[in-house]
Chain A
């Protein structure tokens, strides 16, 4: 267990303002930095796990310790080895995620700019209740924000077909879950996978390769892929 003092010490060392206190400017800047994380992580009221775990109550938490999220083996090992999330450990991790946990599925190259990291850490800090007295985020589950026909979402995918179709994905997205510039899509919750692919199909998400690939996938094919990738572990 780390104390408040430890956090303060690190914070001053990094030149970080203390979250929840005066300097909201930096948390605001951090919110902007968080845009890069939003594809995979939610934070705040109603935050749920997406491809990455939600980040409420992150500070002081042991790595890979939320029961209902499937962490990479790398992170499970790191957690078992005593890694806890604090400003200092987050700073190191965010600079180069792979350096700290080589097998992380976090498809992100890291934030090289120390100010951006510091701002982000302050922002995330506002969603943890220790040491400052910030209430935990409201745990009420919230639907994913999309306007997809529930009938499409309810389709049961055929994982065997999904495995075949996945050949078209694995030329770029590594089946073992690694990432080096193209995001990991393994162990992605089924509904989120379906929502994302339909968003490409309808060009609400904009990436030309993905719009093209999703554009010709039928509803059944998207369901099949989602059913396959949700359990794909290396």
Chain B
């Protein structure tokens, strides 16, 4: 498998130009390959197929047959959603004209413009879209690596990890301890760990009310902090112990064999330990050679990689500027990218980029809060334009309406990603 680096590009540019001139292909339709069928990839594939009305050949590579959303997975931990509520199949995309290939992409040859699949074979592309989500930084939490993910799950990718964490939560002894090691910035879903704390507390309050939650956090503050802390006080008084950076929350090591967590030199035996390590772009972005450090830098106007104009990076894997790494953001970026890719391949009109995000979090049943912003493309980055956040002390009616709105959003975004279910 060839690893293409920017330095190779100059040498191969002439050869590449004779092989595949964009726009006017000698034969066949222009080809788009999308790697990763999550919030970014599924949306991009669906929109390009839908809007090009068959003029672009779109292939989506995704290993799993059912995509379990991370969004609302905390509500599953809290007992408010079922695991089945979170699963989505790719049937709607296939019906919408997307070629869905269930396999892993293991290599990208940027000179030949092909993607290699784990199952053998390779797929040619004119434009390649990467939306592989995240992987974890090796050695980020002392004592933890991927081989420990069964003893100490991250539950930060959807599906089986989430179910495992739920099973461990249910099996906690009376009065036991649930520990979380929170990640440093930047990471997927800024309010995610804290919504998780809330939903775990919600579960424990009903099922194991003397249990405790400890959070070791390398950050001094976090997303919607005032709202979460107010909620923890109101609903789960005395249950949650959040240890921020100022109190040594960043000085953490774990031992999966003995189920102990050491925070700032103090060792504690725990019953469940949810380790959410530092994150980086999904590995295929690194293999494609489009990362710089942990993430893949992109141009804000169209999400194209700064390393290769024929590759686009969406969602969590991208380094784009001010947008939080969220499903909403990935979906928003995908639509800007789809419009640009289709324009480049078919000459259709390309409209200016507009991005937005809103993240809802649930603190207790019917106690929803939200934060959101709009963004625009500047020369350097995706820059924030305007934003809002829920207020502390809101009435329970407002909070309930916010929660109901999040249900609407969930139905909306999953229909937008996968096509309306039939």
A212 touching B412, Cβ below 8 Å: no
Q: A161 with B351: in contact, given A175-B420, A182-B405, A216-B385 (CB under 8 Å)?
A: yes
Find residues 191-234 in chain A having any chain B CB closer than 8 Å to their own CB. 208-209, 211-213, 215-216, 234
B386 touching A212, Cβ below 8 Å: yes
Q: Does B178 contact A (CB under 8 A)?
A: no
Instruction: Please pick, from B386, B388, B404, B413, the residue contacting A181 in the complex, using a CB distance under 8 A.
Output: B404
Contacts of B299 in A (CB 8 A): none
Chain A minimum-CB-distance residue to B357: A171
Q: A171 with B416: in contact, given A182-B409, A213-B356 (CB under 8 Å)?
A: yes
Q: Is the interface of A mostly helix, strand, loop or mixed?
A: loop
B385 touching A175, Cβ below 8 Å: no
B411 touching A181, Cβ below 8 Å: yes
Q: Does A109 contact B (CB under 8 A)?
A: yes
Instruction: Please pick, from B351, B388, B409, the residue contacting A164 in the complex, using a CB distance under 8 A.
Output: B351
Q: Does B274 contact A (CB under 8 A)?
A: no
Q: A173 with B412: in contact, given A178-B420, A212-B386, A212-B388 (CB under 8 Å)?
A: yes
Instruction: Please pick, from A160, A170, A175, A216, the residue contacting B374 in the complex, using a CB distance under 8 A.
Output: A216
Q: Does A28 contact B (CB under 8 A)?
A: no
B409 touching A212, Cβ below 8 Å: no
Chain B minimum-CB-distance residue to A160: B349
A219 → chain B closest CB, angstroms: 16
B324 → chain A closest CB, angstroms: 14
Q: Is the interface of B mostly helix, strand, loop or mixed?
A: helix
Q: Does B320 contact A (CB under 8 A)?
A: no
A175 touching B416, Cβ below 8 Å: yes
B51, B372, B409 interface centre (most CB from chain A within 10 Å): B409
Contacts of B406 in A (CB 8 A): 181
Measured CA separation A171–B412 after assembly (Å): 5
Q: Does B332 contact A (CB under 8 A)?
A: yes
Instruction: Please pick, from A161, A167, A181, the residue contacting B408 in the complex, using a CB distance under 8 A.
Output: A181
B408 touching A213, Cβ below 8 Å: no
B420 touching A234, Cβ below 8 Å: yes
Q: Does A83 contact B (CB under 8 A)?
A: no
B412 touching A209, Cβ below 8 Å: no
Find residues 367-422 in chain B having any chain A CB closer than 8 Å to their own CB. 370, 372-374, 385-388, 404-413, 415-416, 420
Contacts of A136 in B (CB 8 A): none
Instruction: Please pick, from B336, B372, B411, the residue contacting A178 in the complex, using a CB distance under 8 A.
Output: B411
Measured CA separation A209–B402 after assembly (Å): 11
Contacts of A9 in B (CB 8 A): none
Find residues 273-307 in chain B having any chain A CB closer than 8 Å to their own CB. none
Measured CA separation A168–B416 after assembly (Å): 11
Measured CA separation A174–B332 after assembly (Å): 14
Chain A minimum-CB-distance residue to B47: A167
Contacts of A170 in B (CB 8 A): 412, 415-416
Measured CA separation A51–B415 after assembly (Å): 22
Measured CA separation A211–B387 after assembly (Å): 10
Contacts of B356 in A (CB 8 A): 168, 171, 212-213
A209 touching B358, Cβ below 8 Å: yes
A171 touching B409, Cβ below 8 Å: yes
Contacts of A164 in B (CB 8 A): 335, 339, 349, 351
Find residues 174-192 in chain B having any chain A CB closer than 8 Å to their own CB. none
Contacts of A174 in B (CB 8 A): 411-412, 415-416, 420
Contacts of B29 in A (CB 8 A): none
Q: Does B73 contact A (CB under 8 A)?
A: no
B336, B351, B407 interface centre (most CB from chain A within 10 Å): B351
Chain A positions 174 through 196: 1 when the CB is less than 8 Å from some CB of chain B, otherwise 0: 11101111110000000000000
Measured CA separation A172–B354 after assembly (Å): 16
A167 touching B409, Cβ below 8 Å: no
A209 touching B408, Cβ below 8 Å: no
Measured CA separation A179–B412 after assembly (Å): 8
B374 touching A165, Cβ below 8 Å: no
Q: Does B69 contact A (CB under 8 A)?
A: no
B354 touching A182, Cβ below 8 Å: no
Sample of 11 A–B contacts (CB below 8 Å): A165-B354, A167-B332, A167-B335, A167-B339, A168-B335, A170-B415, A171-B356, A171-B409, A180-B412, A208-B372, A209-B388
> Which A residues contact B (CB, under 8 angstroms)?
109, 160-161, 163-165, 167-168, 170-176, 178-183, 208-209, 211-213, 215-216, 234
Extra inter-chain contacts (9) besides given A174-B412, A182-B408, A211-B388, CB under 8 Å: A164-B339, A164-B351, A165-B351, A170-B415, A174-B415, A174-B420, A176-B415, A212-B374, A212-B388
